[in-house]
């Protein structure tokens, strides 16, 4: 029912986030676009077929949305955190049945929003408060409805996801729920009860690089 889709790196500005990632991964980020409904914009990096990494920030030229932005980008605590440094804050799984997938996972109470960017069309579960469940380890659910998948249009960067580590006292229970909801064993997601947040090991042309809180 669900599969790993992408990582989310938050940043105070898009340029800062892209520079932070490029310095660590040694790979330039590809152009993304604007999310007019949320007042955000992004840049992308391929992690292989069906997978990518997104760096996202509030768009200073965008309109303030009528609702809370996704990924806690409006929350003072998140803004203070990202002012210190860009960080890996969240991850997203995809599905072909978003209502069923949200009900079967740990995503919490969500509004299902229909959004678009260029030719891409998708539905995504966003809590009314814009909050991240379980310090961001419980994934957001997305359903791509048209225009293909972003990874189909990104250049091969020679990068891939080696492992995504969920760190939370309930991480092992969360991962069991996600596996029961269909998260394939080939999706390299691990759980640790120590710490909080996410850590991702990325295979790059310069070796394995870890992105974390």
The answer as to whether 181 is a domain residue is no
CATH code at position 70 = 3.10.180.10
Asked whether the predicted pLDDT for residue 213 surpasses 80, the reply is: no
At 122 the pLDDT is 96
Neighbour-count burial for 125-157, b at 16+ CB within 10 Å, e otherwise: bbbeebbbbbbbbbbbbbbbeeeebbbeebeeb
Q: Which of 75-89, 106-120, 187-201 has the lowest mean pLDDT?
A: 106-120
Q: What is the mean pLDDT of residues 101-112?
A: 85
The answer as to whether 64 is a domain residue is yes
How many domains is the chain built from? 1
- The count of C-alpha atoms lying within 13 angstroms of the C-alpha of 105, restricted to the half-sphere facing its C-beta, is 30
Q: Which has more pLDDT, 118 or 162?
A: 162
Q: Categorise residue 207: left if φ over 0, alpha if ψ from -120 to 50, beta otherwise.
A: left
At 56 the pLDDT is 98
Task: Return the bridge partners of 93, or none.
Answer: 4, 141
The answer as to whether 167 is a domain residue is no
- Beta pairing class for 111-117 and 120-126: antiparallel
The answer as to whether 213 is a domain residue is no
The answer as to whether 141 is a domain residue is yes
Confidence of residue 109 (pLDDT cuts 50, 70, 90): confident
Asked whether the predicted pLDDT for residue 205 surpasses 80, the reply is: yes
Residue 9's nearest CA partner among 120, 64, 69, 85 is 85
Domain that holds residue 77: 2-147
The answer as to whether 159 is a domain residue is no
The answer as to whether 6 is a domain residue is yes
Confidence of residue 185 (pLDDT cuts 50, 70, 90): confident
Residue 111's nearest CA partner among 121, 98, 120, 95 is 98
Percent of the chain surpassing pLDDT 90: 87
Distance CA 181, CA 201 (A): 24
């Amino acid at each position: 029912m669900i599969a790993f889709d992408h990582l989310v790196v938050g940043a105070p500005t898009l340029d800062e986030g892209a520079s932070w990632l490029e310095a660590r991964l040694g790979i330039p980020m590809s152009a993304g676009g604007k999310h007019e409904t949320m007042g955000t914009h992004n840049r992308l990096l391929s992690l292989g077929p069906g997978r990518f990494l997104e760096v996202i920030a509030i768009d200073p030229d965008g309109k303030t949305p009528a609702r809370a932005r996704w990924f806690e980008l409006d929350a003072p605590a998140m803004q203070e955190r990202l002012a210190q440094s860009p960080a890996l804050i969240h991850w997203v799984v995809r599905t072909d049945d978003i209502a069923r997938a949200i009900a079967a996972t740990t995503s919490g109470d969500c509004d299902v929003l229909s959004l678009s960017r260029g030719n891409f069309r998708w539905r995504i579960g966003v809590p009314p408060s814009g909050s991240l469940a379980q310090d961001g380890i419980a994934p957001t659910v997305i359903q791509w409805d048209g225009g293909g998948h972003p990874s189909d249009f990104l250049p091969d960067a020679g990068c891939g996801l080696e492992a995504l580590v969920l760190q939370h006292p309930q991480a092992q229970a969360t991962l069991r729920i996600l596996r029961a909801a269909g998260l394939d064993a080939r999706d390299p997601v691990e759980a640790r009860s120590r710490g909080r947040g996410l850590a991702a090991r990325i295979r790059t042309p310069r070796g394995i690089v870890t992105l974390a809180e």
